[in-house]
Amino acid sequence: MAMPIVSTPTYPDKATAWEVPIGTEARGSIEKTRTYQITTVTIDGNMAHRRRVQQQKAYHVPYDPKSEDQLARRQVFRDGKNDWNSLPEEDKAIWRQMAKDWGYHSGYSLFMSQYLLSH
């Protein structure tokens, strides 16, 4: 479900539960009750008619089923991170240079990309 567009973000007052304006722009979450973001939308699908808007919605705790497959994949990520941390600095420098040459953000992201493809 898309976040509703609002002109002024609000926050429920603890004592009265009335909606209190919090300013012209808000980003992030407050006390796990509301989430705010600034985004660009188009009304008619024409990118020339896009505009920045403030959105707010109730805080949502993401679903985390903790299935066997998911836990196994998380372990692969942990193993990759540990392998990167155990690399000597000279090897990390090589990965960083390859990342620059191939247009990756960092040597770590290239390393993890290759690690995850091979596991």
pLDDT at 1 over 60: no
Residue 83 and residue 54 in one domain:
no
pLDDT tens digits, residue range 45-78?
777 777 777 777 777 777 888 899 999 999 999 9
Number of domains comprising the chain = 2
Residue 48 and residue 84 in one domain:
no
The two three-digit tokens of residue 101, written as one number? 């040459």
- The answer to whether position 63 is within a domain reads no
pLDDT tens digits, residue range 2-38?
666 676 667 676 666 667 676 667 777 777 777 777 7
Domain that holds residue 44: 5-58
Residue 39 and residue 82 in one domain:
no
pLDDT tens digits, residue range 89-112?
999 999 999 999 998 889 999 999
The two three-digit tokens of residue 114, written as one number? 């290759």
Q: What is the DSSP string of the chain?
A: -PPPEESS-EEE-TTT--EEE--S---EEETTTEEEEEEEEESSS-GGGEEEEEEEEE--PPP----HHHHHHHHHHHHHHHHHHHS-HHHHHHHHHHHHHHT-S-HHHHHHHHHHHH-
Amino acid 58: pLDDT: 75
